[in-house]
Amino acid sequence: MAQSNKYRPGDQVRVRVDSPSGHYRTPTYIQGKTGLVVASCGRFRNPESLAHGGSGLPEQPLYRVEFTQRSVWDRYQGPSGDKILVDIYEHWLDPVAFRR
């Protein structure tokens, strides 16, 4: 069954704030931040399940999400245009605004 991705490049998303027990790949510093989806990286087995001997299925969409450095770090001194790119799985993202 072909599953479709929830987000497309240009969509605005907010990273979920969570700390489930076990393994997850969404660092704390990026949780709660709002960014822009810039690319779909494909679908991959879910590391949160693989980490406990699971199959990792169904595969989860992974996105490259862009954040301004200033929105991530309170005391960021660099240029306002500086960005940070983080690869984040779909189930860690909530929609803020879909590109029209």
Partner 1 sequence: MPKPHDMGGLPNNEAIEQSDHQLMDWEMRMDALHQVLGQKGIRKTDEMRRAMEGLKPDLYKSLSYYERWTAALEILVVEKGILTSEEIDRKVVQLDQGRR
Chain residues in the site for partner 1 (CB under 8 A):
19, 22-23, 27-30, 47-48, 50-53, 56, 72-73
Q: From the CB of 45, what's the least distance to partner 1, in Å?
A: 9
Considering the complex, state which of residue 40 and residue 44 has its C-beta at the smaller distance from partner 1: 44
Which residue, 20 or 81, is less far from partner 1 as judged by CB?
A: 20
Q: How many CB atoms within 10 Å of residue 9?
A: 13
- Closer to partner 1 at the Cβ: 8 or 23? 23
**Measured between alpha carbons, how far is 27 from 24 in angstroms, rounded to an integer?**
8
Cβ density class 40-69: b for 16+ within 10 Å, e for less: eeeeeebbbbeeeeeebeeebbbbbbebbe
Give the shortest CB-15-to-partner 1 separation in angstroms. Answer: 13
Shortest distance in whole angstroms from residue 9 CB to partner 1: 25
Q: What is the DSSP letter of 91?
A: G
